[in-house]
Structure 1
């Protein structure tokens, strides 16, 4: 078989997403479940990449639901594929999304269920075993994972689920061109949540660069708008097309992130999608690891061939997941 030559490593990563078409063929009818409704720009980039993938490959989305408005007992035709949003919330750190994922697998044994690229992390292996008991009862379950550690763990636990190694869905957005010319030196796009590390805190003490995270990138009005849309989805939107409104608003939010990154010559980040966005923009960037090795594992699996990107990590915690 002829080897394909790619002009840029990011071209290859985007092309690798095409493997998903073996499970979700072009022209498939699907339900897209668990799309993000919050201010984490990384998940919004995944959503935009996912929607671009559907559009580029003529996959027909018949309905969209978030974790806030998915109705229990929803009738889904057996010939429709249920597609679950990817990301880094597979495990016991983010129970609302894991609960929905397991509910879907339990309630729809007759549908093909596809989970788009995820990173797996459990603090408690008993919770992982509980998930495995649920998954192993489904006969047409497909899980894409973003790193080799997740794949190894999933293949041990999930006996009937098909497991595949695949890059993050945001790679479908390659290339992203910013209209902003860089006039600042360094953006430090660093976590402010439970996944930050002592190494990051030492870096912060140096005081170099401009500091930002998703929570500070989006201003108070934008954060309030996100909360309003969340409340509408939880309570029922009546005649308002809230999903369509959210789609348009997230175009604006992602555009704001692109424009802000575009102002800097280089990025230093502990956010996986700070790294991926920088790579999508072909911008020099340095990636710090997060608390459980997700970032380092992703870099070593996919992006270490990108000359504009490098990893700054004392060690990976990925082997210490339990």
Structure 2
């Protein structure tokens, strides 16, 4: 993935069986975030023993950079644990019959993120469908945040979750953990966001072009919208450069690379539909990994363009931590960012700050900018 080297796998001595996949060397990670990786490896090690053959549901096809970071972190961690991904799909390509053909037995891993609940209906409905389709499999929900706005949706989810005899929920903040333990019967465990396991060589740098950039949500999780109003990226007079990374740019080479990967995905899905689901998996995983790498590199370049970043996106915060960039994390609409901050960022670096309001965010960004070394300030 993204140029990361993989440890060669030794051939098996029994030709009748596919070789058991051994754990790779310990995963590479950003040193100052190593404790997050160690924590999640400890949790997953009990759920995914070495050599486990599994399915991975929910590859991202959207332009949200955070989802791509999670995907690449998941892939790196499963590789480090020696897991063998025998089936993968995105929101549009799930097929229970193909999953069963590729993986007659073994656990099913549901991708992490912030979609457990009813804010993002398509992801939740897929999650519930997988649980209904495979009542005889172990299913592991990788680290998620939880939020339900409609009690009827929560009731439906509880009915599906509680009916499954072997479901484990991993939650990435204490609020979500306590919520799930109060509502669902499935074991619930705390684990950090898997984006912290993104390999360092996937974290691309960029050129500083602005004093302050503002990565502001333009979706239903935004508290008030960008400080300069919703819409395309823009530079305020005397203020920050405002954008949301879900808006892809017009870089021709980048778009050609993305289109080529979409074609690879389409060819792999055609092969699966033509009667060879197992044979399609390597090409499909390569397409998913490539798309995630493209989006992550774009997001890293956007963040690196500012001497200081303000964001209400949780993964703006996570990637800024990984990249060592000064930044301010701002409250979102549903409290997801603050819950994560309270759970994991207690020992944050001094170049990281929290803000409840836009005015407070501007003040803290200004203080961070003033405190930077002259070369970082551009003086």
Q: What band does the TM-score fall into relative to the shorter chain?
A: 0.7 to 0.9
What residue number does 2:290 align with? Answer: 248
- Choose which of 328, 345, 354 in structure 2 pairs with 1:311: 354
Structure 1 residues without counterparts, runs of 5 or longer: 1-6, 315-322
Instruction: Please tell me whether residue 168 in structure 1 is matched to residue 188 in structure 2.
Output: no
Q: Structure 1 CA distance, aligned partners of 2:322 and 2:343?
A: 17
Structure 2 residues without counterparts, runs of 5 or longer: 1-29, 272-279, 358-379
Judging changes above 3 Å, is the alpha-carbon distance between structure 1 residues 33 and 93 closer, same or farther for their aligned structure 2 residues?
same
Judging changes above 3 Å, is the alpha-carbon distance between structure 1 residues 199 and 300 closer, same or farther for their aligned structure 2 residues?
farther
Q: 1:258-302: CA deviations, max 9, x gaps? A: 223223221110111111110111111101111111111111111
- Three-state SS of the structure 2 residue aligned to 1:128 is helix
Q: Structure 2 CA distance, aligned partners of 1:60 and 1:166?
A: 21
What residue number does 1:4 align with? Answer: none
- Choose which of 24, 35, 41 in structure 1 pairs with 2:59: 35
Instruction: Please tell me whether residue 284 in structure 1 is matched to residue 316 in structure 2.
Output: no
**Which structure 1 residue ranges, 4+ long, deviate > 3 Å from structure 2?**
76-79, 174-184, 199-207, 217-237, 239-243
What residue number does 1:319 align with? Answer: none
Judging changes above 3 Å, is the alpha-carbon distance between structure 1 residues 227 and 84 closer, same or farther for their aligned structure 2 residues?
farther
Compute the TM-score of the two structures, normalised by the length of structure 1: 0.85
- Three-state SS of the structure 2 residue aligned to 1:214 is coil
1:115 CA drift (Å): 0.5
What residue number does 1:274 align with? Answer: 316
In the TM superposition, what are the counterparts of 1:21-32 in structure 2 within 5 Å?
Answer: 21-32=45-56
Q: 1:47-67: CA deviations, max 9, x gaps? A: 011111112222111111111
1:121 CA drift (Å): 0.6
1:183 CA drift (Å): 5.0
Whether contact under 8 Å (1:229, 1:242) holds in the other structure is no
- Choose which of 25, 47, 66 in structure 1 pairs with 2:71: 47
Judging changes above 3 Å, is the alpha-carbon distance between structure 1 residues 141 and 285 closer, same or farther for their aligned structure 2 residues?
same
Instruction: Please tell me whether residue 64 in structure 1 is matched to residue 78 in structure 2.
Output: no
Q: Structure 2 CA distance, aligned partners of 1:163 and 1:212?
A: 36
Q: Which one has the largest radius of gyration?
A: 2
What residue number does 1:151 align with? Answer: 177
Q: Structure 1 CA distance, aligned partners of 2:229 and 2:31?
A: 31
Instruction: Please tell me whether residue 180 in structure 1 is matched to residue 211 in structure 2.
Output: no
- Choose which of 245, 248, 254 in structure 2 pairs with 1:214: 245
Whether contact under 8 Å (2:143, 2:172) holds in the other structure is yes
1:104 CA drift (Å): 1.0
